[in-house]
Amino acid sequence: MDENARLLDRLSRQYFEEYPSAQAEFDRAEESLIDGGSHTLRLFGPAPFRIVGASGSRLTDSDGHEILDFWQGHYANVLGHNPPLITQVLAQRLGGGYGLHTGITESLQTDFAALLLKLIGAEKIRFTSSGALADMYSIMLARAFTGRPLIVKVGGGWQGAHPLALKGVSFRDGYDHSESAGLSPNEVESVLLTRYNDPEDLTGLFQTHGDRIACFIVEPWMGMGGFMPATPEYLRTARELTHKYGAVLIFDEIISGFRFCAGGVFKLYGVQPDISTYAKVIGGGMPLAAVAGREEIMRLCSPGSERRVKFDGGTFSAHPAALLAGNALVEYLAEHENDIYPRLGMLGEKMRRGVEEAFAREGIYVQCTGYGNEVVTDSSLGMIHFPVEEGIRLTCPDQVWNPAVCDVERREKVLKLAFLLEKVYVMHGLGVLSTEHTEDDLEWLFAACEGAARRIKT
Ligand SMILES: Cc1ncc(COP(=O)(O)O)c(C=O)c1O
């Protein structure tokens, strides 16, 4: 049995002692749900605990624990779980007979669209209900606009579960593979992969395939691929190449949007995409997403357009309850931008440094990603990695998901269970801060790092 398997075995036994209802709940869930649920990330082994409440930085589970949470609604809950700002708006408006009537449009949608456009500096916007749909429509718009078939995406980038981007997400001796059965060979072949933060690789791709490339879709801040910022040079190169070859530049801001400032992180780089996609934070905890961009491209979703993109339908698109929540949140973020983001960034910095120091005190070398750079200064994100060698600088997904560079199993499985025994919930080795996380929460986290390190050592 290898070291991680041995640790998992021991930690799982301790976990079941600490979370006694997890196994029975899991068995019951499995009777009706494949693998006991509907989202793989939520179904961690050996059996996920069940939530009965969530407030601010904390979760309460069915075994009565209070757990410090860094997952924060898939990184969406920038004001923490169930913030009164949103719950009060929803309770009041739903109680007054407004919010569950999807199907007839309302002026709130116009107001919110105008607010978002002002903050993200785009010409037109259309709402949908998930990040995956937003990314899929953005790619369809790019293909229709350019009349070209090829999509360039980053190896290790997650652009949602839809047929146009299910290639090169997970690391398996590299990224050059399909992520799903059920796709046509065309869908897989039309996606070209490039290495994050590697302007030369991107230049080479455009030199070879430039006249057939419809778009380059990229996260200006890499999310699930490793929580690292794009270098300014990388985004500038992306902009220059897409201009030069007539392709559409799509920024996927589904994690980064409203996470670093009240708008897209592209503002900080000063690199303007043709289209950008938003979800997570902009919904205020509700399912809401948007595609925003240049009018001449966005206009292709209109039935009057000759090359019409069927960015349409969606019983729950621009759902009024989601608009209520999203609008209240975004208004608040815009109004308090100068307080919220610097404080989040300051706590983020303390979090990452404090975590590295806490593990070092116990003799374990970890490296956090999530640090900003010269343009992104206020980062509230962190991932803890176990590099196999000291001193490697982690700058792209090829490193943080490659078992030859980082001990991925230790981060994804062992650390998660070790932290849960310390009543801390993490995803991909840590997560994000909300405005509700405090300095005391960080002390809790640092003590948990020491505790987790001791559990890993013994
Ligand atoms: C960068 C990025 N793009 C797209 C998506 C897909 O969004 P959704 O889960 O709302 O479909 C995600 C989700 O995590 C994401 O992180």
Distance CA 441, CA 73 (A): 18
Q: Where would I find the beta strands (DSSP E) of 104-203?
A: 124-128, 150-154, 191-194
Distance CA 24, CA 290 (A): 39
Structure tokens at 346: 């300051």
- Please tell me the residue having the least CA distance from ligand 1 atom 3: 159
In testing the pocket of ligand 1, which one of 72, 75, 129, 135 has its CB within 8 Å of the most ligand atoms?
A: 135
Tens-binned pLDDT, residue by residue, of the chain (458 aa): 699 999 999 999 999 999 999 999 999 999 999 999 999 999 998 999 999 999 999 999 999 999 999 999 999 999 999 999 999 999 999 999 999 999 999 999 999 999 999 999 999 999 999 999 999 999 999 999 999 999 999 999 999 999 999 999 999 999 999 999 999 999 999 999 999 999 999 999 999 999 999 999 999 999 999 999 999 999 999 999 999 999 999 999 999 999 999 999 999 999 999 999 999 999 999 999 999 999 999 999 999 999 999 999 999 999 999 999 999 999 999 999 999 999 999 999 999 999 999 999 999 999 999 999 999 999 999 999 999 999 889 999 999 999 999 999 999 999 999 999 999 999 999 999 999 999 999 999 999 999 999 999 97
Specify the pairing of strand 381-385 against strand 424-425: unpaired
Q: Any residues with Cβ below 6 Å from ligand 1, and which? A: 74, 130-132, 135, 158-160, 219, 223-224, 252, 254-255, 279
The sheet with strand 66-69 has its strands ordered as: 51-55, 58-61, 66-69, 424-425
Amino acid, res. 374: E
Q: Is 58 left (phi over 0), alpha (psi -120 to 50) or beta?
A: beta
**Distance between Cα 170 and ligand 1 center (Å):** 15
Please report where in the chains the tokens 């949908």 appear, as a residue.
128
Structure tokens at 368: 């956090």
Q: What is the pTM of this model?
A: 0.98
**Distance between Cα 329 and ligand 1 center (Å):** 19
Amino acid, res. 320: P
Please report where in the chains the tokens 């976990």 appear, as a residue.
15
DSSP 240-259: HHHHHHTPEEEEE-TTTTTT
pLDDT of residue 402: 97
**Distance between Cα 160 and ligand 1 center (Å):** 5
Q: 113-143: buried (b, 16+ CB within 10 Å) or exposed (e) per residue?
A: beebeebbebebbbbbbbbbbbbbbbbbbbb
- Please tell me the residue having the least CA distance from ligand 1 atom 16: 255
SS (H, E, C) 258-326: CCCCCCCCHHHHCCCCCEEEECHHHHCCCCCEEEEECHHHHHHHCCCCCCCCCCCCCCCCCCHHHHHHH
The secondary element (H helix, E strand) that includes residue 222 is strand 221-222
- Residue 122 three-state SS: coil
Name 54's bridge partners. Answer: 59
**Distance between Cα 76 and ligand 1 center (Å):** 10
C-alpha pair distances (Å), 81 with each of 75, 312, 358, 435:
11, 31, 27, 10
Specify the pairing of strand 66-69 against strand 424-425: parallel
pLDDT of residue 458: 79
Domains of the chain, start order: 3-82+337-457 (3.90.1150.10), 84-335 (3.40.640.10)
**Distance between Cα 157 and ligand 1 center (Å):** 10
Amino acid, res. 33: L
pLDDT of residue 388: 95
In testing the pocket of ligand 1, which one of 158, 256, 288, 319 has its CB within 8 Å of the most ligand atoms?
A: 158
- Please tell me the residue having the least CA distance from ligand 1 atom 8: 131
CA 135 to ligand 1: nearest atom: 4
320-335 helix and 337-361 helix, angle to the nearest 10 degrees? 90
Q: How many CB atoms lie within 10 A of CB 299?
A: 16
